Amino acid sequence: MLDLLKCGREEFGVLAAKAEFEAEGTRADELLRLLEIVHKAGVGLALKIGGCEAIRDMLEARQFGVRYIIAPMVETPYALSKYIAAVNKVFTLEEQEDVTFLFNVETVTAFQNIDTLVDIASGKPGCDGIVFGRVDYSGSIGVGRAGVESEEVTAVGEKIGHLCAKRNLDFVVGGAVSIDAFDNLRRFEAAHLKRFETRKVVFDSSALSILNLSQGLRNAVHFELLWLLNKREYYGLMYKEDDARIDMLESRWKILEGE
């Protein structure tokens, strides 16, 4: 995993690895292991928190030195205002200079409110940008994962990108990012793409000019696979570590119970 991230940083524009307190349910010990890897690899960590006002998640992110914080399911202006207020409650202005604060636009409801969301995000206080979550957005309009690369979804991403460009906000794209997404990622780049991300790896948009970027995306898939295998092995060892002690105590208890 370390070698893959180092290679990604040096050759494919990798900026960070990703973890989620939301859908992925990352535990604290997993986050610490991932932090060790990203620090050794010389990349940052992007963390999707559990909600727009997840104060405890933000406190942990602040403690661990997370580079990118993403709030999920921000669908309304009120939810975005709650997120911005929480950021300013947890992070000092000086600390905010070292962190990029983003929110997910991933439902049709959020897109219906996009003009107001962009207005609030670009205000003072505001936040740094938007992540367009293509898979969830596709689900919210009823086309499913198979429709991620459709014109209907891509046109929405382009509009969000253009709005972000006008207000000097970061525009990031995630959700089913693979080799199949190259053409649409280039359309997003023309709109204002800053970064794009797989489930576990964040790339700089400049990586789209790399001829063998497909290898970088394969490496990102490999990284995720190794991470899941490592996670399974870690918890498998924890599950088995007390087997001998349990067997001994059960045998002893049967003797005591017989007495």
Give 181-195 pLDDT, tens digit per residue: 999 999 999 999 999
Please give the residue that has the higher pLDDT: either 239 or 210.
210
What mean pLDDT comes out for the span 201-217? 97
Sequence-distant (6+) residues with CB within 8 A of 72 are: 22, 23, 48, 49, 50, 51, 52, 103, 104, 106, 133
Determine the residue type at 128: D
Give phi and psi for 101, each to the nearest 5.
-105, 120
Q: Which domain holds residue 86?
A: 2-258
pLDDT at 258 over 80: no
Is the bond preceding 125 in cis, omega lying within 30 degrees of 0?
yes
The CATH number of the domain holding residue 9 is 3.20.20.60
Say what the pLDDT of residue 27 is. 86
Reported confidence tier of residue 61, pLDDT bands at 50, 70, 90: very high
Enter the tokens of residue 239. 């599950």
Q: The whole model's pTM is what? A: 0.91
- β-pairing, 170-174 vs 14-20, is unpaired
Count up the domains in the chain and report the number. 1
Quick one: three-class SS letters along the chain?
CHHHHHHHHHHCCEEEEEEECCCCCCCHHHHHHHHHHHHHHCCEEEEECCCCCCHHHHHHHHHHCCCEEEECCCCCHHHHHHHHHHHHHHCCHHHHCCCEEEEEECCHHHHHCHHHHHHHHCCCCCCCEEEEEHHHHHHHCCCCHHHCCCHHHHHHHHHHHHHHHHCCCEEEEECCCCHHHHHHHHHHHHHCEEEEECCCEEEEHHHHHCCCHHHHHHHHHHHHHHHHHHHHHHHHHHHHCCHHHHHHHHHHHHHHHHC
> What is the residue-averaged pLDDT of the chain?
94
Please give the residue that has the higher pLDDT: either 29 or 15.
15
What mean pLDDT comes out for the span 1-24? 95
Determine the residue type at 206: S
Say what the pLDDT of residue 161 is. 98
224-256 per-position pLDDT tens digit: 999 999 888 877 777 787 888 788 888 887 877
138-174 per-position pLDDT tens digit: 999 999 999 999 999 999 999 999 999 999 999 999 9
In this structure, how many other beta carbons lie within 10 angstroms of the beta carbon of residue 52?
Answer: 23
- Which single residue is written with the structure tokens 């494919």? 12
Reported confidence tier of residue 68, pLDDT bands at 50, 70, 90: very high
Say what the pLDDT of residue 259 is. 61
